[in-house]
Structure 1
């Protein structure tokens, strides 16, 4: 396994994890409509990245699982929705939301670093397949980072000073 395949594998894992976490955060904060809807949309990007990484990985001899494991049985989804509604009425959800946004930001930042490493390797080796992959996916990861950062900046002062 060379460095490129190691980064592809790490990115696949990171994007899969980010898709799962974005979906969980969207469900957990269902009563915060902007969080719910944007996190759901951003999870779609990470799922697409997982698919593209799996497709690209095959070219490099990797067999990466193509689909993120974000499907839940109906009962678990219903329980999460009810918990989100109940938590939405208590003062602590703000702190939970900030923690979730921080965790999402750290995950997206880690993925961004891997995208950057992959892009640099692609440029050094003139690998058009990797260049195309990184040119499509990395800007979306940067937008995921900017969204989490913006939400922390906007919500943090209000949440932290209202305790």
Structure 2
């Protein structure tokens, strides 16, 4: 046995989670039209990645379910939002957006590292199928990272100095 199934499982779970986070953030910030639409596009990339990972996992005796049609926000999103509402305090909406961007960036960073590991193990094992998968999908993950980073750099000065 090698570590390919471990990396594929981590990537699959990570891409599904990133898709869920992008969709939940897009819904929370639907008034920010540019953010809303780009986040939905980014979620679609993660959805496509998880489909391709599930397909690539079968020859490695790893059976992954098909990706969700549209993930629903799970307990972590609900738990993060509820405390402020329950005591009547709401931080400014811009802080919610920055927090979501930070969380998206961190999730995309984890996926990027997993794509790197998959590429390395695929190269070591001579598995051109997995190497091609990583070469196709990792650049989109890097674009997700660049977009979240750019949004954070653009929004934080104005939002944080206006508090």
Normalising by the smaller structure, the TM-score range is 0.7 to 0.9
Aligned match of 1:93: 93
The C-alpha deviation readout for 1:20-51, integer Å capped at 9, x for no partner, is 00000000000001110000000000000000
RMSD between aligned residues? 1.4
The C-alpha deviation readout for 1:40-83, integer Å capped at 9, x for no partner, is 000000000000000000111111111136345xxxxxxxxxxx
Give me the whole-angstrom Cα distance separating, in 2, the residues matched to 1:91 and 1:106: 21
Extract unaligned runs of 5+ from structure 1: 73-89
Of 62-71 and 149-158, deviating more is: 62-71
Aligned match of 1:125: 125
TM-score by length of 1: 0.86
How is 1:137-156 mapped onto 2 (pairs within 5 angstroms)? 137-156=137-156
Aligned match of 1:45: 45
Count of residue pairs brought into register by the alignment? 146
Give me the whole-angstrom Cα distance separating, in 2, the residues matched to 1:47 and 1:91: 31
Does the CA-based 8 Å contact 2:19-2:71 persist in structure 1? Answer: no
TM-score by length of 2: 0.86
How is 1:1-150 mapped onto 2 (pairs within 5 angstroms)? 2-68=2-68, 70-71=70-71, 92-150=92-150
Does the CA-based 8 Å contact 1:20-1:69 persist in structure 2? Answer: no
Does the CA-based 8 Å contact 1:25-1:39 persist in structure 2? Answer: yes
Moved over 6 A (4+): none
